[in-house]
A and B are shown apart, each in its own frame.
Chain A
Amino acid sequence: MERISLACEKISLISPGELDTSLDFSSKLNPFKTKDQELLLQGLERSGILSPILSIKKTGNPNPLVIDGFKRIKWALSSKIDTVCVITLPQMEEEELVVFLTTKYAPTLDTCVVRALFLYFLVEKSFKHKTIVEKVMPILGLEPHKGLLERYLKIAGLPHKLLLFCHEKDFSLKRCINLSYKPRRLLETIIGLNGIISLSASLLQELCDNIHDILRRDDMDVEAFFELKQVRDILGMEKDPSTKTRLLRRFVWQMRYPVLSSVHAQIEEIEKRHFSNMPFCIKWDRSLENRKITITGSVSSPNELDSLIDALSDKGTKEGINKMLARF
Chain B
Amino acid sequence: MKPKSVTLHPDLIRHPFSQNFKGARVSKKSPMLTDYRQGKRHLFISPKKGDIFHICASLDTRYICCSTHVISHISNCPFECTYCFLQNYLTDTTLTVVADTKAIMAEIKDKVAKQPWRFFRIGTWELGDSLALPPLNQMAAALVKEFALTKNCVLKLRTKSSAVEPLMDLDHQGKTVVSWTLNPPEIIAKEEIATAPLEKRLMAMEKVARCGYPIGLHFDPMILFNGWQNAYEGLIKMVFSAVRPKDVIWISVGSLRFNPEMKKKIENNYPSSKITAQELVLGDDNKFRYPRPVRQDMYSLILDCLKNVGADQCFTYLCMERWNVWERVFGRYPVSIGHLDYLIARSVHKRFPKTCPTMPPKGKYMALSY
Contacts and interface: CB of A to CB of B under 8 A. Distances in A.
A283 interface: no
A175 interface: no
A246 B293 CA distance: 27
For B276, B281, B294, B322, the residue with the greatest tally of chain A CB atoms inside 10 Å of its CB is B281
Contacts of A258: 279
A289 B284 contact: yes
Interface in A260-317: 260, 263, 287-291
Contacts of B291: 257, 259-260, 263, 287-288
A202 to B, nearest CB: 16
Contact of A328 (B274, B278, B294, B324): B324
B57 interface: no
B267 interface: yes
Contacts of B268: 181
A219 B268 CA distance: 18
B210 to A, nearest CB: 43
Nearest to B284: A289
Contacts of A257: 279, 291
A259 B264 contact: no
A288 B280 CA distance: 11
A290 B284 contact: yes
A260 B292 CA distance: 9
B294 A217 contact: no
B277 interface: yes
Interface string B12-45: 0000000000000000000000000000000000
A125 interface: no
Interface residues of A, number: 18
A328 B267 contact: no
A289 B279 contact: no
A213 B278 CA distance: 7
B276 A289 contact: no
A263 B277 CA distance: 20
Contacts of A263: 291, 293
Contacts of B322: 289-290
Interface string B282-295: 11100000011110
Contacts of A328: 292, 324
Given A181-B267, A181-B268, A287 B282 contact: yes
Given A257-B279, A288-B293, A216 B274 contact: yes
Interface string A189-214: 00000000000000000000000011
A213 B276 contact: yes
Nearest to B294: A259
Contacts of A216: 274, 276-277
A256 interface: yes
A287 B283 CA distance: 8
A328 B278 CA distance: 20
Interface in B221-278: 264, 267-268, 274, 276-278
A289 B323 CA distance: 10
Most buried by B among A263, A287, A289, A291: A289
B274 A217 contact: yes
Nearest to B323: A291
Contacts of B293: 259, 263, 288
Of B267, B277, B282, most buried by chain A (CB within 10 Å of CB) is: B277
A244 to B, nearest CB: 25
B186 to A, nearest CB: 15
Given A181-B268, A216-B274, A260-B291, A291 B324 contact: yes
A60 B267 CA distance: 47
Contacts of A214: 277
Given A216-B277, A259-B291, A328-B324, A289 B264 contact: no
A289 B283 contact: yes
A289 B267 CA distance: 25
A217 B278 contact: yes
Nearest to A212: B277
Interface string B313-341: 00000000010100000000000000000
A290 B284 CA distance: 9
A263 B278 CA distance: 17
Nearest to B224: A217
A290 B327 CA distance: 13
A217 B275 CA distance: 8
Contacts of B267: 181
A318 B289 CA distance: 31
Contacts of A217: 274, 277-278
A327 B294 CA distance: 13
16 contacts: A217-B274, A217-B278, A257-B291, A258-B279, A259-B279, A259-B293, A259-B294, A260-B279, A263-B293, A287-B291, A288-B281, A288-B293, A289-B281, A289-B283, A290-B322, A328-B324
Interface of B: 264, 267-268, 274, 276-279, 281-284, 291-294, 322, 324
Interface of A: 178, 181, 213-214, 216-217, 256-260, 263, 287-291, 328
The 7 closest A-B pairs by CB, nearest first: A217-B277, A216-B277, A213-B277, A259-B291, A287-B281, A291-B324, A288-B292
